[in-house]
């Protein structure tokens, strides 16, 4: 069965449940191809021993601080592969790659390595799509826009209805009215486009149940 990833966008505003063993709402996605899956996760900051353990997310233990010491600043990540792509899912409000690719050397997009990131930026809006097409550069687009590069990803965004009217195309009242009418479906449209471009399908039941492998990566 093909699940796609539109369901991630559909639950983008769903509140996280402490009783849920996995993830459902507020998930950010980073996927990459052109490099080994473990290599990508190590670039994000994965510990080699944790990576080798392949611990299911439901069994992942997040360390707490000792008395007088703060808790380690780490993010739980669920990951997997689909076709040529390795993907990482995070529900802490943002995508680690999005916060680090401009300042952490290991995360910088390299030639021949393509990365697509959808980060919800809960703590620092707006929600954003970032595309590093493999030429060493990265292009950004807020939800409702394309990257302006006339790429295959941009085509997918338009086809999925994820590109909304802008002030450069029409007047402010028309833009506001369109967002008022269609804004609720925008996250689903964005994830639909990214899923179509990448050929990505992730089983929502496995993600909710926390059955995919996981690890902790440091905040950046």
Task: Give the confidence band of 71 by pLDDT, cuts at 50, 70, 90.
Answer: low
Query: 40 near 32, Cβ under 8 Å?
Result: yes
Query: Tens digits of per-residue pLDDT, 122-170?
Result: 989 999 999 999 998 999 999 999 999 999 999 999 999 999 988 777 8
Question: Residue 175 has what pLDDT?
Answer: 86
HSE at residue 141, side-chain half, CA atoms within 13 A, is: 24
Strand partners, 118: 29, 129
Task: Give the confidence band of 68 by pLDDT, cuts at 50, 70, 90.
Answer: low
pLDDT > 90 fraction of the chain, expressed in percent and rounded: 80
| Beta carbons within 8 Å of 125's beta carbon, 6+ residues apart | none
Q: Is the pLDDT of residue 66 over 60?
A: no
Dihedral (C-alpha) 118, 192, 187, 206: value to the nearest 10 degrees? -80
What pTM was estimated for this model as a whole?
A: 0.93
d(CA 202, CA 24): 12
| Vertex 157: Cα angle to 151 and 162 (nearest 5) | 150
Task: Give the confidence band of 18 by pLDDT, cuts at 50, 70, 90.
Answer: confident
Question: In the chain, how many H helices and how many E strands?
Answer: 8, 8
**Residue 21 CA to chain centroid, in angstroms?**
19
Strand partners, 119: 128
Q: Is the pLDDT of residue 107 over 70?
A: yes
d(CA 31, CA 149): 19
d(CA 1, CA 56): 22
Q: Is the pLDDT of residue 26 over 60?
A: yes
| Vertex 37: Cα angle to 32 and 43 (nearest 5) | 75
């Amino acid at each position: 069965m093909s699940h796609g990833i539109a369901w991630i966008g559909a639950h983008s505003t769903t509140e996280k449940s402490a009783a849920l063993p996995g993830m459902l709402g507020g998930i950010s996605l980073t996927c990459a191809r052109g490099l080994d899956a473990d290599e990508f996760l190590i670039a994000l900051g994965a510990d080699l021993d944790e990576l080798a353990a392949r611990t299911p997310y439901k069994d992942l233990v997040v360390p707490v601080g000792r008395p007088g010491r703060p808790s380690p600043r780490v993010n739980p990540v669920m990951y997997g592969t689909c076709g040529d792509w390795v993907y990482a899912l995070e529900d802490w409000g943002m995508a680690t790659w999005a916060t680090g690719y401009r300042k952490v050397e290991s995360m910088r997009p390299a030639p021949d390595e393509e990365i697509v990131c959808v980060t919800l930026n809960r703590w620092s809006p707006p929600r954003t799509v970032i595309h590093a097409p493999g030429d060493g550069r990265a292009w950004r687009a807020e939800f409702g826009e394309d990257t302006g590069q006339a790429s295959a990803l941009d085509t997918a965004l338009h086809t999925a209805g994820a590109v909304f009217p802008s002030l450069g195309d029409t007047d402010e009242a028309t833009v506001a009215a369109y967002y008022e009418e269609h804004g609720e479906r925008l996250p689903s449209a964005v994830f639909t486009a990214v899923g179509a471009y990448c050929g990505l399908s992730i089983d929502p039941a496995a993600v909710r149940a926390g059955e995919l492998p996981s690890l902790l990566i440091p905040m950046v």
